[in-house]
Amino acid sequence: MLAQHSVVGERIKGLSGVWLGVGTENVRKICAVGVHLSRWTTMHGFALNVNTDLSYFKNIVPCGIQDKAVTSLANELGHIVDTELIKQQLKFHFAALFEAHYRT
C-alpha cells in the first residue's frame, strides 16, 4: 500500500513494524504491529500513521525504541491524505496477501 504512494516501507531485523529510510541515518517508523498474550487471550494490533499529529511522540518513547523517529504518510508526502482511500487500499492488499475476500 505504501508503494502506491511512492513510499518504501521495510522491516528491520529485531524490531517490529514498518520502517522508512532503512540503511540511512534517517530511519523512521510509520507503522506499528504487535501481539500481546495475557491470561490465555491473544491480542494483536496494527497502527499506520496516516495523518497523525507527530508532536505527541515527543512525550513518549514509542514502542520502547529510543534512537528511532516516527513519521506519518502525510509527513512523508507533504500533504493530508484521504484516510478512506488508505483504508480501501489496505483492505485490498491485506485480502490479497492472506487470500481472503472482502467487501468494498
pLDDT digits (tens, 9 = 90+) for 14-28: 998 999 999 999 999
The CA distance from 39 to 24, in Å, is: 40
Residues contacting 101, CB < 8 A, separation 6+ = 95
Q: Is the pLDDT at 7 greater than 70, yes or no? A: yes
Instruction: Give the sign of the dihedral formed by CA 104, CA 44, CA 70, CA 98.
Output: negative
Q: DSSP for 78-98, please give it.
A: TS---HHHHHHHHHHHHHHHT
| Residues tagged active-site | 63
How confident is the model over 10-63, as pLDDT tens digits? 999 999 899 999 999 999 999 998 888 999 999 999 899 999 999 998 888 787
Q: For residue 65, is pLDDT > 70?
A: yes
All three cell numbers of 55: 508532536
Mean pLDDT, rounded, of the chain = 92
